């Protein structure tokens, strides 16, 4: 079984040490961000780290964008890695942020691309409103500075947090969230309306499989059955911030609802906060990946 606190290399070396034959386990990290959204590294650098970590395959799951997928596939093909096109859609449900991962989506699906273009524009408007609020709170901050941090990519609150740190308004990005831009804080601006139901539907319509990202971060976990009713087909059980207890609970929940199991590091690159800096920190093994492939094949046949 996958272990969330071992790196891919450690897991492989343990297996090497405990087996007579030197057979490396095949591991897949199915939750990785690049600078196409709020990750710090370009796609090329991310794929190189996936190679260095000794992974068999990975999914690039940038927030609300598929713009890195074509390049990621080229790099993965050139490196002999299995590539799973993915994305992470950030939605809101009751009082919770619900992030839905979509694996095996068709990045060229027209409706998906229309929706993503709309989200990108709305994210920019929201970022402007957050910066306005910060200015009202007395921080002199220019939106162009946030834009420079985000580049032409999908803007998220992490870019604003990074800008606040650069300007000396917060010591860390976490502090920026905890004191100013996190939910319930004075410069928090609610997201444009985007529900998990819509996200799940658009992932399914574009040929993908919707999974609930990091269920341990959901405050009211009683909402999970409602998400299953909406068509969710898997849970991200293996995640760096999930405790052993949570992992067991989510495995049982997945079994109870007949859901698939995924795992990934939520890598965002160096400087993004302890647990998000190591690609391959959480993963699934070959058997779990094959179950996902079989399910996908069953859906497409």
Binding segment (CB under 5 A) for Zn ion, from list 37-45, 87-95, 152-160, 198-206: 87-95
Tell me: does residue 216 bind ligand AMP (CB under 6 A): no
Residue with tokens 């090329």, as numbered in its chain? 44
Both tokens of 48, joined, read 């190189």
How far apart (Å, rounded) are the C-alpha atoms in residues 231 and 93? 15
Judged by CB under 5 A, does residue 266 bind Zn ion? yes
In angstroms, what is the minimal distance from the CB of 107 to ligand AMP? 20
Alpha helices in the chain (DSSP H): 8-18, 43-52, 69-79, 110-136, 143-150, 157-166, 173-176, 196-205, 224-229, 244-257, 286-300
Q: Binding residues for ligand AMP, how many (CB under 6 A)?
A: 11
Q: Which is nearer to Zn ion, 12 or 29 (CB)?
A: 29
d(CA 113, CA 115) in angstroms, rounded, equals 5
236 binds, among Zn ion, Fe ion, ligand AMP, none (CB under 5 to 8 A by kind): none
Contacts of residue 228, defined as CB under 8 A and 6 or more positions apart, other chains included, come to: 257, 259
Stretch of 7-15, 32-40, 134-142, 280-288 lying at the interface with Fe ion (CB under 5 A): 32-40
- Closest by CA position to 146, among listed 133, 127, 123, 129: 127
Residue 38 binding Fe ion, by CB under 5 A = yes
Which of 203, 213, 228, 233 is the binder for Fe ion (CB under 5 A)? 213
Q: Which stretch binds Fe ion (CB under 5 A): 38-46, 127-135, 173-181, 227-235?
A: 38-46
**Shortest CB 294 distance to Fe ion, Å:** 26
Contacts of 292 (CB under 8 A, 6+ apart): 103, 209, 234, 260, 262
Member of 68, 156, 263, 269 binding ligand AMP (CB under 6 A): 156
Min separation Cβ 136 and Fe ion, Å? 26
133 binds ligand AMP (CB under 6 A): no
User: 260-263 and 57-60 as β-strands: parallel, antiparallel, unpaired?
Assistant: unpaired
Q: Which residues bind Zn ion (CB under 5 A)?
A: 88, 266
């Amino acid at each position: 079984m996958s272990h969330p606190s071992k790196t891919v290399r450690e897991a492989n070396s343990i297996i090497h040490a405990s087996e007579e034959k030197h057979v490396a386990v095949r591991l897949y990290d199915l939750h990785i961000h690049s600078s196409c959204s709020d990750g710090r590294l370009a796609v090329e650098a991310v794929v190189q780290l996936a190679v260095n970590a000794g992974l068999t395959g990975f999914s690039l799951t940038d927030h609300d964008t598929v713009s890195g997928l074509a390049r990621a596939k080229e790099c993965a093909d050139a490196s002999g890695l299995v590539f799973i096109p993915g994305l992470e859609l950030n939605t809101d449900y009751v009082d919770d942020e619900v992030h839905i991962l979509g694996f095996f989506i068709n990045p060229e699906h027209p409706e998906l691309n229309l929706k993503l273009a709309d989200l990108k524009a709305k994210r920019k408007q929201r970022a402007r409103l957050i910066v306005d609020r910060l200015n009202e709170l007395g921080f002199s901050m220019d939106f162009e500075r946030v834009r420079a941090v985000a580049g032409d990519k999908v803007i998220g609150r992490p870019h604003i947090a990074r800008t606040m740190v650069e300007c000396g308004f917060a010591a860390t990005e976490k502090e920026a969230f905890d004191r100013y831009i996190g939910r319930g804080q004075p410069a928090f601006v609610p997201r444009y309306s985007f529900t998990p139901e819509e996200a799940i539907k658009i992932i399914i319509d574009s040929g993908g499989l919707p999974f609930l990202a990091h269920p341990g971060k959901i405050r009211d976990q009683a909402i999970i059955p409602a998400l299953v009713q909406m068509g969710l087909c898997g849970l991200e059980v293996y995640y760096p911030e999930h405790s052993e207890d949570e992992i067991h609970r989510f495995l049982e929940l997945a079994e109870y609802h007949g859901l698939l199991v995924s795992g990934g590091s939520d890598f965002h690159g160096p400087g993004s906060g302890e647990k998000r800096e190591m690609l391959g920190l959480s993963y699934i093994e070959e058997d779990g990946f094959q179950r996902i492939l079989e399910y996908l094949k069953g859906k497409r046949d």
